[in-house]
Amino acid sequence: MNTKLVLIDETQREEEIQKALWEAADILRKGGLVAFPTETVYGLGANALDEKAAGKIYAAKGRPSDNPLIAHISCMEELRPLTAKIPEIGIRLAERFWPGPLTMVFLKSDRVPYGTTGGLDTVAVRMPEREEARRLIAMAGVPVAAPSANLSGRPSPTTAQHVWQDLNGRIEMILDGGPVGIGLESTIVDVSGERPVLLRPGAVTLEMLEEVVGKVEVDPAISGIPGEDVRPKAPGMKYRHYAPRAEMVLVEGEIKAVVDKINSLVKSREEEGCTAGIICTEETRRQYWRGIVRSVGKRSQEETIAHNLFAVLREFDDLGVDYIYSESFSQDHLGYAIMNRMKKAAGYRRISV
Ligand code: TXA
Ligand code: MG
């Protein structure tokens, strides 16, 4: 299959963008696959109501078929037909955070096929903030099922080039809207039960959610290593996601000690003839003298760290480093989501100094 790459960023005229969006919407209506930018990461879209189209997503990504997809909508009116029940807290969260980086899990209606929900009786729904994404969904006239547009197991794509790397030849079209804003996937909250439960942390933080609906439970699988005893409620969270090819280790502790430890680890690896990448911050980048050093931004600017993280993991993949040593970050607010992705990328390997 020939994958068409079309620019829809701010360098393009409105008519050009409109034309590209209509072409993409047409592909979606006909049951094809289109990758498109959202404010979180690039998504790989298909008609969420068409089981066969959703099936193509699993094939293109190499994704296990028990891992459900998020249905993306363009306005509130599109929510009701997908759900069997919309609880009051769901409405409050939607009013506060939609459009935006929040996904909510509801009991599904009969219209949503099990092929989209991985066999579950619930459906995850999100209204993205990125305008072109909502225009595309509205033009397609159907809810758009969209997981992150990466090959299963690779870090989520934050640029159209990342999507191209993974999916060229496997999908009909990629809409290139430039780098995404946030860089981490949406927050997921299950509102289908008695109490809201956080299934995946993201840019809508736990603190922000609790301001609107009071206490939110946290799925124990978020903090622990998924295994027999802790089964994540978001099936996708059990996979070793965001995994770089290298062996990654998080080093935590007082920052001076962390820098010393990473320097000594990299030295030993290089002496063994291996290559090592270092994930650090603006504050510390000049304190590393070996290895391939990449800063993800200033420690005080968590948004920048979130924005850069997946691109750095992919770059280390492209460079073929054998090891990645990373500094750790605070776990409040957005830091909670950042550290969640980093721990998964590291396969939960960590060293405390
Ligand atoms: O930011 C995002 O959410 C991006 C953009 C494209 O919108 N999408 C995304 O999709 O990250 P994906 O498929 O990579 O992650 C979806 C997660 C998976 O962990 C999946 O298991 C979970 O959502 N999920 C989907 N439907 C669910 C359901 N009914 N119940 C529980 N978890 C669900
Ligand atoms: Mg994903």
Are 238 and 226 spatial neighbours (Cβ–Cβ below 8 Å)?
A: yes
CA distance 232 to 298: 32
Tens digits of per-residue pLDDT, 157-184?
999 999 999 999 999 999 999 999 999 9
Mutation choice for ligand 1 from 40, 65, 148, CB with most ligand atoms inside 8 A:
148
Find the mean pLDDT for residues 340-344. 94
Taking residues 209-219, report their average pLDDT: 97
User: Is the C-beta atom of 185 inside 6 A of ligand 1?
Assistant: yes
In which band, very low, low, confident or very high, does the pLDDT at 108 lie, cut at 50, 70 and 90? very high
Relative to the CA of 101, which ligand 1 atom is closest?
Answer: 1
| Ligand 1 atom closest to Cα of residue 67 | 21
Q: What distance lies between CA 82 and its chain's CA centroid?
A: 22
Q: Is 99 in the pocket of ligand 1 (CB under 6 A)?
A: no
Supply the pLDDT for residue 65. 86
Give the distance (Å) from ligand 1 centre to CA of residue 68.
Answer: 7
Q: What is the mean pLDDT of residues 89-111?
A: 98
Mean pLDDT of the chain: 95
> Mean pLDDT throughout 251-275?
98
- How far apart are the C-alpha atoms of 202 and 86, rounded to whole Å? 22
pLDDT at residue 227 in the model: 62
- Could you tell me the pLDDT band of residue 255, with boundaries at 50, 70 and 90? very high
189 lines ligand 1 (CB under 6 A): no
Average pLDDT, stretch 313-330?
96
Whether 233 has a pLDDT exceeding 90, the answer reads no
Span of 49-63, 225-239, 270-284, 325-339 with lowest mean pLDDT:
225-239
Q: How many CA atoms lie within 13 A of 6 on its CB side?
A: 20
The phi-psi region of residue 246 (left if phi > 0; otherwise alpha if psi is between -120 and 50; otherwise beta) is beta
The span from the CA of 151 to the CA of 156, in Å, is 8
In this prediction, residue 245 has a pLDDT band, given cuts at 50, 70 and 90, of: confident
> What domains are defined for the chain?
4-222 (3.90.870.10), 247-352 (3.40.50.11030)
Contact between 153 and 240 under an 8 Å Cβ cutoff? The reply is yes
Nearest to 255 by CA among 277, 288, 302, 290: 288
The CB of 258 under 6 Å from ligand 1? The reply is: no
Question: 103 CB less than 6 Å from ligand 1?
Answer: yes
> Which residue has its alpha carbon closest to ligand 1 atom 20?
236
For the chain, the helix, strand and coil percentages under 3-state DSSP, each to the nearest 5: 35, 20, 45
Closest ligand to Cα 64:
1
Q: Ligand 1 atom closest to Cα of 126?
A: 7
The owner of tokens 């590209």 is 20
Check pocket membership of 134 for ligand 1, CB cut-off 6 A: no
Distance of CA 311 to the CA centre of its chain: 12
Of ligand 1's listed atoms, the one at least distance from the Cα of 148 is 14
- pLDDT > 70? residue 228: no
Is pLDDT of 226 > 90?
A: no
Residue entry with tokens 């969270």: 237
Q: Which ligand is nearest to the CA of 39?
A: 1
Atom 31 in ligand 1: which residue has the minimum CA distance? Answer: 234
